Amino acid sequence: MDYKELAEELLRNMTRTAKMPFQKKVEDISHGEKKILGFLTFAKSSATSGELSEALYLTTPRVASALNSLSKKGFIQRSRDANDKRIVIVTITEEGTHFMEEERKEALMMIEQTLEKLGEHDAKEFVRILKRITDITIESE
């Protein structure tokens, strides 16, 4: 089997589908901002910028820029740690949580429609293979 040829075909197809409807940029929210909001909504409601950087594999300047933008939009708020005033804690606001919950709902609906078009067998295989790829990627880190 020619894995290089398969890899090239996969890359071509991934490039063509890079802008799936559920991956769209909404309301001027960048991918990094969405990652931060997602983390604060579904993983941990508050974190330091360092924790966000580490957990999301984003550079600290990227996190700082995203946090400034999210703060202006009213999606997060920053406060000083009570025990150490040098530490800034980032917390998602109710507006930020609502935005992410709506985004997730819309993304799930679009993914569900795509999986339905694939049919039961192909949809299950796609999810199984994607999980396997994720597991392989995590193992190699």
- Regarding pTM above 0.75, the answer is no
What's the pLDDT band for 63 if we cut at 50, 70, 90?
A: very high
C-beta of residue 78 within 8 angstroms of C-beta of residue 90: yes
The two three-digit tokens of residue 3, written as one number: 């894995």
User: Distance (Å, rounded) from C-alpha 30 to C-alpha 67?
Assistant: 11
Tally DSSP H helices, then E strands, for the chain. Answer: 6, 3
Average of per-residue pLDDT across 5-11? 81
Beta-carbon contacts of residue 65 (< 8 Å; ≥ 6 apart): 32
> Can you read off the two tokens belonging to residue 114?
């795509």
The full set of domains in the chain, from first to last, is 22-116 (1.10.10.10)
Read off the pLDDT of residues 66-123 as tens digits, 9 standing for 90 and up.
999 999 999 999 999 888 888 889 999 999 999 999 988 988 898 899 899 989 999 9
